[in-house]
A and B are shown apart, each in its own frame.
Chain A
């Protein structure tokens, strides 16, 4: 009875509005970083419409920066697509993790919401849910707000150029690492979480330095989560 009540309460918490509000730190990060992307993409020879279209159609920050660099260098299309695939492969792990907390959401909605999964929305989502089942409204509010910020930042960067990228010098993009620190601390619920986090952080550094090709997040997560399971009683 008691658990049923608390469960209902937690469902009420996860409204569309909660989702939108939870996206605020992401918005602070996406606007300036999106603007930087927009400016670089213009310099790489894309039109304003093409700059914003990539943000709307692909919606994957780091791979957009890489793609723009490759377009500027005149790299072949299939190489760009393949690199994009590799860089974004880490979302497999986030999607798998979300499958546990999105079980009560219908399959078509899952397939729709999956389009907007990013590192940042995944991080906010798992810390906020804290083991609870998600609602589609909460996830939609969080992800679509982040999406609009990314597209808006891209447009500002494309249109305003250096003026918008002046944002970057202020350091507003630091909202993202600061948010990651906060979300990490919120999830230190057991000693083993600390072990997994420290191990993953160190492995990620080693892989980023010594293994070419942006595999650090995938490899560090695979290994450290496995160590976590092996150390579980």
Chain B
């Protein structure tokens, strides 16, 4: 491995590690006010939704991202049965299997 590449990785790793580590190590020692705890309790749901919606609804055009509401958007189509199975079962595996089977079939058909 080239030394310059290794040094690049170490620098990338440092700036990636610090935001992963500092809040966890610092905040877990502090008694946080109730409102902050409440705020943090919304973070998982908010992060999940914020990660998911661009994955299903956006398409990249060069450097830009545009809304992709079309039947040709197979990832969005496959999300529909996945969503309903998730709503009914509230478990992890049934929706994942539903989503995978749907996207396999859609990929074969279209």
Residues in A neighbouring B107, C-beta threshold 8 A: 169-171
B47 near A46 with CB under 8 A, answer no
CB distance from A94 to the nearest CB of B (A): 6
Interface string of A162-201 (1 = CB under 8 A from B): 0000000111101111111111111110001100111011
A181 near B12 with CB under 8 A, answer no
A115 near B20 with CB under 8 A, answer yes
B45 in contact (CB, < 8 A): yes
A145 in contact (CB, < 8 A): no
Say yes or no: A204-B23 contact (C-beta < 8 A), given A54-B9, A178-B82.
no
CA A94 to CA B26, docked complex, whole Å:
13
A204 near B16 with CB under 8 A, answer no
Tell me how many residues of B have a C-beta within 8 Å of chain A.
76
B95 near A204 with CB under 8 A, answer no
Q: Which of these binds chain B: A6-14, A151-159, A213-221?
A: A213-221
B45 near A184 with CB under 8 A, answer yes
CB distance from B98 to the nearest CB of A (A): 7
Chain A interface bracket (under 10, 10 to 19, 20 to 34, 35 or more) = 35 or more
Q: Looking across the interface, which residue of chain B has its beta carbon closest to that of A87?
A: B16
A144 in contact (CB, < 8 A): no
Q: Looking across the interface, which residue of chain A has its beta carbon closest to that of B29?
A: A107
Q: Looking across the interface, which residue of chain B has its beta carbon closest to that of A127?
A: B44
Picked from B17, B93, B99, the residue with its CB within 8 Å of the CB of A181 is B99
A81 near B8 with CB under 8 A, answer yes
A40 in contact (CB, < 8 A): no
CA A185 to CA B58, docked complex, whole Å:
21
B24 near A184 with CB under 8 A, answer no
B interface, CB within 8 angstroms of A: 1-2, 4-13, 15-17, 19-29, 32, 35, 37-58, 64-67, 74-75, 78-79, 82-83, 86-87, 90-96, 98-100, 103-104, 106-107
Could you give 24 example pairs across A and B, Cβ below 8 Å?
Answer: A28-B96, A50-B2, A57-B13, A59-B16, A63-B16, A77-B11, A93-B23, A110-B25, A111-B25, A114-B25, A119-B47, A124-B92, A127-B92, A177-B82, A184-B86, A185-B90, A187-B48, A204-B51, A205-B53, A209-B58, A224-B46, A224-B50, A225-B40, A232-B38
A interface, CB within 8 angstroms of B: 22, 25, 28, 46-47, 49-50, 53-54, 57-60, 63, 67, 77, 80-82, 84-85, 88-100, 102-103, 105, 107, 110-111, 114-115, 117, 119, 122-124, 126-127, 169-172, 174-188, 192-193, 196-198, 200-205, 208-209, 216-217, 220-221, 224-226, 228-229, 232
Give 10 closest A-B pairs by Cβ, nearest first: A178-B99, A126-B44, A204-B50, A99-B27, A201-B53, A85-B15, A114-B21, A96-B23, A225-B42, A182-B95
